[in-house]
Amino acid sequence: MEQFRNIGIIGRMGSIRVLDTIRRLKRYLIGRHLHVILEDRIAEMLPGHNLQTSSRKLLGEVCDLVIVVGGDGSMLGAARALAQHKVPVLGINRGSLGFLTDILPEHLESQISEVLAGNYTTEQRFLLEAEVRRDGVTIGEGDALNDVVFHPGKSTRMIEFELFIDGQFVYSLKADGLIIATPTGSTAYALSAGGPIMHPRLDAIVIVPMHPHTLSSRPIVVDADSELKVVVAEDMSIYPLVSCDGQNHVTCAPGDTLHVQRKPQKLHLIHPLDHNFYAVCRDKLGWGSRLGQDNK
C-alpha cells in the first residue's frame, strides 16, 4: 500500500522545462495508479490533462504529498501556502540553485520511487510572520520561509530605524536595510550581505544589517522564539518597504513599526535519503572537495 495516494503538483509559471517535467511526472504517477491533482494555474498550461485541479491553498487540505517543480522561489511560495496544513512537500529542481528543490529531473523516476516506498527523510523548517503596524493598527502582514527584508525600495538613500529584541533596545542604525532570516534563508540574501550560514536544524534567527553606516554593526544570531521590532525613524523623508521572501511587499511610513516572530506552523520538507546539507553547500557555493579528490 502506497503511503502517499493523493499527490498535488505545483509548477513555476512561464517555463517550458517545468511543463515538460510536470508532464513526465504526471505520466509516472498515473502509471503508479496514484491520484494526481494539479494546481489550477499550472493546469491551464496543460490542456487535455484530464486531472482534478485545485487552488494552491486547497492542495494542502486534499493531498498527502505536494511536489513542487521549479526553483527555490517556487518552493518559497508553496511553503507559505502549505505550511499550515502540515502536508509534506518535495521539490524537483528546475531552477538555478536548488537549496530546497533537491531532486534532479534526470533522476525523477528513481528518486520519486524511493520516496513513494517510504525511503526519505523529513525536515521541519520554520517560517517567520511579519506585521507592519501604524498607530497600533495592522496595515500589512506576510509570511516568509527565507527572510523578511526592510529596505528603501527604489530610493538610493539610507534608512534609519531602531531595533528591539524581546522588548529590549538593541541599537539605532542608518543602513541600506535590515535582513531578518531563518536558517533556511541564511544561504540566500542574508549570505550575500555578510551573514553566517546556519544549519537548517538550528532554532535561531539571524539579523543582518545591509551596508550599515557604522562598521561595528555586525550580524546577530538570536533564539527563534525572540520577538523582533523595528521602529521606522519618524523624521525620514522616504517610505521604506518590508518584503517577505522578496515576493510580498508592504510600504511603511515614518513612525511605523515592523514586528517579526516565528510562525507556529512549520513546513514539512521531504528529502531523498542521500540528502546532505554540507554536500549541497559544496555544490551550490563552490566549496572545495576533499584533498586528493576531484570536485564533483
pLDDT digits (tens, 9 = 90+) for 251-269: 999 999 999 999 999 999 9
34-48, 210-224, 227-241, 282-296: which range is least confident on average?
282-296
Average pLDDT over residues 27-56: 94
> How high is the pLDDT of residue 156?
82
Question: 134 - beta bridge partners?
Answer: 137
Say if residues 71 and 20 touch (Cβ distance below 8 Å).
Answer: no
How far is it, in rounded angstroms, from Cα 98 to Cα 225? 28
Task: Please name the amino acid found at residue 75.
Answer: M
* Residue 248 clears pLDDT 90, i.e. is over it: no
Catalytic residue check, 147: no
Q: Which three cell numbers stand for residue 33?
A: 495508479
Model pLDDT for residues 87-135, shown as the tens digit of each residue: 999 999 987 767 898 898 999 999 999 999 999 999 999 999 999 999 9
User: Is the torsion defined by CA of 270, 275, 276, 279 positive or negative?
Assistant: negative
Task: For residue 172, give the 3-state DSSP assignment.
Answer: strand
Where does residue 223 rank: exposed (0-12), middle (13-18), buried (19+ CB within 10 A)?
exposed
The angle that helices 108-116 and 16-31 make with each other, rounded to 10 degrees, is 50
Kindly indicate the confidence band of residue 2, based on its pLDDT and cuts at 50, 70 and 90. low
> How high is the pLDDT of residue 95?
74
Q: Is CATH 1.10.150.20 correct for 127-264?
A: no
* Residue 1 clears pLDDT 70, i.e. is over it: no
> With pLDDT > 70 as the criterion, what percentage of the chain qualifies?
98
For the question of whether the overall pTM of this predicted structure is more than 0.85, the answer is: yes
* Residue 137 clears pLDDT 60, i.e. is over it: yes
> How high is the pLDDT of residue 117?
94
Domain 6-118 superfamily per CATH: Probable inorganic polyphosphate/atp-NAD kinase; domain 1 (3.40.50.10330)
> How high is the pLDDT of residue 294?
58
> How high is the pLDDT of residue 3?
84
> What's the whole-number average pLDDT of the chain?
93
* Residue 221 clears pLDDT 90, i.e. is over it: yes
Average pLDDT over residues 135-148: 97
All residues at 6 or more sequence positions from 283 whose CB lies less than 8 Å from its CB, including other chains: none
* Pick from 195, 194, 150: nearest CA to 176: 150
24-28, 34-38, 93-97, 173-177: which range is least confident on average?
93-97
How far is it, in rounded angstroms, from Cα 137 to Cα 76? 28
CA distances from 120 to 69, 85, 112, 258 (A): 18, 20, 10, 38
68-72, 140-144, 161-165, 285-289: which range is least confident on average?
285-289
Please state the domain extents for the chain. 6-118, 127-264
Kindly name the residue from 20, 40, 64, 72 that is annotated as catalytic.
72
* Residue 296 clears pLDDT 90, i.e. is over it: no
Q: Provide the H-helix boundaries in 9-126.
A: 16-31, 40-43, 56-62, 72-82, 108-116
Say if residues 172 and 160 touch (Cβ distance below 8 Å).
Answer: yes
What values do phi and psi take at 294, rounded to 5?
-70, 150
More confidently predicted of 95 and 190: 190
518590508: which residue's cell? 242
CA distances from 38 to 78, 90, 267 (A): 13, 15, 20
Model pLDDT for residues 45-81, shown as the tens digit of each residue: 998 888 999 999 899 999 999 999 998 899 999 999 9
User: Is the torsion defined by CA of 68, 71, 75, 78 positive or negative?
Assistant: negative
Q: Do the strands 6-11 and 35-39 form a parallel or antiparallel pair, or are they unpaired?
A: parallel
Kindly indicate the confidence band of residue 212, based on its pLDDT and cuts at 50, 70 and 90. very high
